[in-house]
Structure 1
Amino acid sequence: MNSQKQTLVITGSCGFVGEKLATKAIAEGFDVIGIDIKKSTNLDCRQLEINLISQDFYDKIPAGSTIIHLASLSTDSLCRENPILAIDANLRATSLALENAKKSNAKHFLFASSEWVYPEHPEVTEQRESDHLDLADLDSLYAMTKLFGESLIRSTSLVPYTILRFGIVYGPRKIPGSSAESIALKVYSGDEISVGSKETARRFIFIDDLIAGILQAASKGPDLLDTKILNLAGSELVTLDQIVSATNEILGESSVIIDSGKMASIRNPLIEEMSKILEWSPKINIRQGLESCLKAMTSDNGKGKHE
Structure 2
Amino acid sequence: MSKTILITGAAGFLGSHLCDRFIAEGFEVIGMDNFITGDRKNIQHLLDVPSFKFIEHDITEFVNIQGHLDYILHFASPASPIDYLKIPIQTLKVGSLGTHNLLGLAKAKKARILIASTSEVYGDPLVHPQTEDYYGNVNTIGPRGVYDEAKRFQESITMAYHRFHCLETRIVRIFNTYGPRMRLNDGRVIPAFMGQALRGEDLTVFGDGLQTRSFCYVDDQVEGIYKLLFSDYAYPVNIGNPHEISIKDFAEEIVKLTDTKQKIVYKALPIDDPMQRQPDITLAKKILNWEPKVDRAEGMKKTFAYFKGLSKEELFKSEHKDFTNHIKR
Q: So what's the TM-score if we normalise by structure 2?
A: 0.79
Offset, 1:30 = 2.2
Counting aligned pairs with the same residue, the percent is: 24
**1:162 and 2:166 aligned:** no
Q: Secondary structure at the match of 2:62?
A: coil
Mapped contact 2:140–2:149 kept (Cα < 8 A): no
* Offset at residue 161 of structure 1 (A): 0.8
Q: Which amino acid aligns with 2:55?
A: L
> In the alignment, what sits opposite 1:99?
104
Tell me the CA shift for residue 192 of structure 1.
1.5
Question: Contact conserved, 1:119 with 1:138, CA < 8 A, in 2?
Answer: no
2:83 match: secondary structure = helix
Is 2:60 the counterpart of 1:56?
no
CA contact (8 A) 2:4 2:30 kept: yes
Q: C-alpha distance in 1, partners of 2:290/2:12?
A: 24
In the aligned structure 1, how far is the partner of 2:288 from the partner of 2:67? 27
Report the aligned-residue RMSD. Answer: 2.7
Aligned: 1:113 with 2:123: no
- How far is 1:234 from its partner? 1.4
Q: Which runs of 5+ in 2 are unaligned?
A: 317-329
User: How has the CA–CA distance of structure 1 residues 198 and 207 changed in structure 2, closer, same or farther, with 3 Å as cutoff?
Assistant: same
| TM-superposition CA deviations, 1:249-271 (whole Å, max 9, x none) | 33444644334586972122211
Decide whether the 8 Å contact of 1:11 with 1:18 is kept in 2. yes
Contact 2:116/2:173, CA 8 A, preserved across alignment: yes
Deviates more, 1:19-28 or 1:253-262: 253-262
User: 2:132 pairs with 124, 129, 132, which one?
Assistant: 129
Task: Please state how far the C-alpha of 1:84 moved relative to its aligned partner.
Answer: 2.4
Q: Which residue of 1 aligns with 2:195?
A: 185
Question: Residue 246 of structure 1: SS of its match in structure 2?
Answer: helix
Distance change >3 Å, CA 50–CA 189, structure 1 → 2: closer
1:283 equivalent to 2:293? Answer yes
Q: Give, in whole Å, the separation in 1 of the partners of 2:181 and 2:63.
A: 32
**Alignment partner of 1:146 is 2:159:** no
Alignment partner of 1:296 is 2:306: yes
Equivalent position of 1:47 in the other structure: 54
CA drift of 1:101 comes to 0.6
Aligned position for 1:214: 225
| Number of residue pairs aligned between Structure 1 and Structure 2 | 293
Q: Which amino acid aligns with 1:125?
A: H
Contact 1:33/1:48 (8 A) holds in 2: yes
Answering whether residue 87 of structure 2 is matched by residue 74 of structure 1, we say no
Aligned to 1:36: 33
2:244 maps to 237
Between the aligned partners of 1:145 and 1:174, the Cα distance in structure 2 is 22
**What is the rounded CA distance, in whole Å, between the counterparts of 2:236 and 2:274 in structure 1?**
27
What are the ranges of 5 or more consecutive residues in structure 1 without an aligned counterpart? none
Partner of 2:179: 171
Match of 2:6 among 6, 9, 30: 9
